Amino acid sequence: MKKTIKKIGILTGGGDCPGLNAVIRAVTKSAIVNHGLEVFGIEDGYAGLIEKRGHELTQVQVSGILTLGGTILGTSNRADPFRVPVVAGKKIVFEDHSDQAIEHFRQWGLDVLVAVGGDGTLSIANQLCQKGIPVVGIPKTIDNDLSGTDYTFGFHTAVSIATEAVDRLHTTAAAHHRIMILEVMGRNAGWIALHSGSAGGADIILIPEMPYSLDAIFAAVKKRAQHGKKFSLIVVAEGAKEKGGKVIMRKKDLKNPYPVKLGGVGAYLADKIEQLTGLETRSANLGHIQRGGSPVPSDRNLGTLFGTHAVELIRQQKWGQMVCLHGSVITSIPIEQAVDKLKLVTADNPLVQACEAVGISFGR
């Protein structure tokens, strides 16, 4: 028997992402205008659910936020109600506070939770659903590595920003006859590096899915130099690693669900290339610039499509589902299917094959 839905809770978890406000706006406006529902914004992702922090969302509050980056609700990539870090003496232990989070959900009078996030956020949402909380998921990640959807909003904005950076490095590389390396985000998946490297005309693209050989990189840049090319461009994902080697780690944060903080592979490669080839090499790390700023039109539209479809799933009371894009169709799949495994770049990907066809090396 279907229950009466009166009040929706929404949170944005994980890293911030261009297009989150478009989703918040779409959920809030379509729920209020079309179905007469109340919408409640949970602050700072699951941290707000654990600590009971949130506020009502109205049409006025979400007016004018479509073009804004970030999220008006705040977010957290640390908070997990099933794994709350607690300092015990000199150690950090993790406690399950999910019952407390569920009690807050009920005290607010919420009937359903809309969880907007990547694999971590949606995995937690799936666990809450298994404990009896009606949940609808919306996929968000600039890495585009969530299974079950062709694209996640935020990805195209990140690619646009990274491509502009490649374009800008192109001119300074040519002027100084240098090898320029751009390090972009991508812990496990190389979608940003692949798409921005291809669009920006990079000579070498290095991604986590394809461990690189230093010899292959040296050979590629030397070959260009021998053919009169006085500069080379390399785009590398932060999670790329040498064959038989490990990822380059910046630091560890034991309180974070992803304790290993990546960063530095660009600088590592710059040193190696310059030492072993004698070619002047510089690196730039784009970092969090990829996450910031106004979303491109396609991400605004995708966020709007995802948000309105999530409300439709709520109307139909299809719990445990994640909104997704298949071709040009907005549909849904079970959340557990979406988070079962990451969507990674494969060697037979058409864009990989096209890049290799025009002479771009993947360091293999």
**What are the structural domains of the chain?**
7-153+295-338 (3.40.50.450), 158-292 (3.40.50.460)
Q: How far apart are the first and last CA of the chain?
A: 57
Tell me the C-alpha distance between 43 and 41, whole Å. Answer: 6
Per-residue pLDDT of the chain (364 residues; tens, 9 = 90+): 678 999 999 999 998 999 999 999 999 999 999 999 999 999 999 999 999 999 999 999 999 999 999 999 999 988 999 999 888 888 888 899 999 999 999 999 999 999 999 999 999 999 999 999 999 999 999 999 999 999 999 999 999 999 999 999 999 999 998 999 999 999 999 999 999 999 999 999 999 999 999 999 999 988 888 888 889 999 999 999 999 988 888 777 666 666 777 889 999 999 999 998 888 999 999 999 999 999 999 999 999 999 999 999 999 999 999 999 999 999 999 999 999 999 999 999 999 999 999 999 999 9
Residues belonging to the active site: 143
On whether the CB atoms of residues 115 and 124 are closer than 8 A, the answer is yes
Tell me the C-alpha distance between 267 and 345, whole Å. Answer: 24
On whether the CB atoms of residues 79 and 120 are closer than 8 A, the answer is no
Q: Rg for the chain (alpha carbons), in Å?
A: 22
On whether the CB atoms of residues 190 and 362 are closer than 8 A, the answer is no
**Predicted local confidence at residue 133, as pLDDT:** 97
Q: How many CB atoms lie within 10 A of CB 305?
A: 17
Tell me the C-alpha distance between 151 and 156, whole Å. Answer: 9
Tell me the C-alpha distance between 67 and 65, whole Å. Answer: 6
